[in-house]
Amino acid sequence: MADSSLTSFLDGADQSPFPIQNLPYGVFVPPAASSPRVGVAIGDHVLDLAVLQEEGHFEHPDVQAAEPFSEATLNTFMGLGQDAWSAVRERLQTLLRADTADLRDDAALRERALHERASVTMRMPVDVGDYTDFYSSEHHARNVGSMFRDPENALKPNWKHLPVGYHGRASSVILSGEDVRRPCGQTRPDADQPPVYGPSQLLDFELEVGFFVGPGNPRETPIPIEETPQHIFGFCLVNDWSARDIQGWEYEPLGPFLGKSFATSISPWIVPTAALLPFRVSGPEQDPAPLDYLQQDADWTFDVALDVGLQTPSMDAPHTVCETNFRHMYWTVCQQLAHHTVNGCNVRPGDLMASGTISGPTKDSYGSMLELSWRGQEPVELPGGETRSFLEDGDHVVMRGHADGDDYQIGFGSVEGTVRPASCQ
């Protein structure tokens, strides 16, 4: 369990979403520098780990040898493994404690190592080599299956036997804040007519949580489920933008392709797994029982509150259209990773695994416009009399997440993006 009595010497940090119990990792550029480096968020500040590395504050031999914090991504640090992650986290919490003088009383070091978060430029934190998107929320899968098939056959026969997923496109994983252009592609709006080419008319968001792989495994050597926690570095928010009309025409028989590959947005801060351990909870009962390689002893579902805000061009602020929770996942992150590698597939530091759309049991907890508007039949009402069935040009989507402890909060920040008009050739 995290120590809720830990306090930081930085004013306001203990009451912020980025307290000493969190310390999410990111890559940033300070206002007076040109090169990116690794930092952690603490309150309204970013602590520059490259500076601490230069000053010899990390004694773990692998960290000293690799010098990962002056690099432009977190990949090297992710690859060092859990022992190095734990050593760095312990050192950072010691330096930031209210009763530790090393950083608190060293004005010169504070001047070099601490930056106002509002003054830095965030960069893509990871060089994502591979991206996998799962389909692990039973509520979401049942909703979609009910729409496109029927409620009695909403789930495919394999759904409760394995974590369904597909390999996405890593090249189009982008950082929060980057606009998303409405994609163009082939659709078939009239089932009695040939397909047409043009801009997607059914653009959607998908509320997801992603995790990044740490050391990974050699090819042909699966990761046993009991060892998967050692390979899960941390978590971020994911908006897996979807063009439903492109997807609906192309996905049979092989599944998502151009309807998904145009953009996947992630939040800039990666919450370490250690920060979320106090928020592990039991997931839904899995019936039938999974096969042996997917059975785990400990709880690996997380109590993380999630919400989605939608702001149209005429609105002054986002309006909440969805409130749900990460705990609604049927398949856990450990099961996802174990299944991903059971055939001998190798995963590598920085690989991104996303949960798939996270939906809860009630309409206001559905994690996509497809569900919220029930395939466009029940448009979502917004302030000022506007409605939305799917996203329109100029719409701004904001996703947030946080886990609440007794005396502190673990925040994920946000993942945001604005829809730009299509540019079809």
**Which residues are the active-site residues?**
140
Give phi and psi for 353, each to the nearest 5: -120, 125
Q: DSSP character for 270?
A: B
Give the integer Cα–Cα distance in Å for 169 and 188: 24
CA–CA dist 3, 334 (Å, integer): 25
Residue 55: count of CB within 10 angstroms of its CB? 14
Query: Kindly report the CA angle at 325 between 283 and 405, in degrees rounded to 5?
Result: 90
At which residue do the structure tokens 């026969």 appear? 157
Residue in this structure with the two tokens 């990761």, named with its chain if needed: 223
Which uninterrupted H or E stretch holds 148? helix 138-148
DSSP letter, residue 274: H
Greatest Cα pair distance in the chain: 74
In angstroms, the CA 80 to CA 58 distance is 13
d(CA 397, CA 402) in angstroms, rounded, equals 17
Structure token digits, residue 231: 């390979």
Q: What is the rounded radius of gyration, in angstroms, for the C-alpha atoms of the chain?
A: 22
Length of the chain: 425
Residues 6+ apart with CB under 8 A from 404: 305, 410
